[in-house]
Amino acid sequence: MMSEYYDIILPYYVLILSVIAFIVTVADKLLSKTDKRRVPEKRFIMFSVFGGGLGVLSAFYLVRHKTKHNGLLTAVWVSTVICYIVLVAVSFFLK
């Protein structure tokens, strides 16, 4: 019974979190051109750990934001891959 809800909710969860992460990342790119307060880099990693990594990575490459920060890019890529592996594994485990 739990797996039915998980399979329905999981794609929406990932999509919504990725859209939010994308918007936050693009907003940070826009803020980088001003003297306003910026989004901390750990926030991008947090988004990727909790399922919004596709949004962060998409924004990084589409608007060319933080692409020279190799440490940050590596952390976001690794946490995104691990997160999605865990989500898929849990999905199979619940079936």
The percent of residues above 70 in pLDDT, for the chain, comes to 97
> Structure pTM?
0.88
The parent domain of residue 6 ranges over: 2-94
Q: Kindly state the helix (H) or strand (E) to which residue 88 belongs, with its residue range.
A: helix 70-94
Among candidate residues 37, 38, 30, the one with its CA nearest the CA of residue 63: 30
Look up residue 35 and give its DSSP letter.
S
CA atoms within 13 A on the CB side of 26: 11
If you average pLDDT over residues 35-60, what whole number do you get?
Answer: 93
Query: Average pLDDT in the 33-53 region?
Result: 92
C-alpha 20/C-alpha 32 separation (Å) is: 18
Number of domains in the chain: 1
- pLDDT band for position 37 (50/70/90)? confident
Mean pLDDT of the chain: 90
CA distance 25 to 32: 11
Average pLDDT over residues 46-72: 91
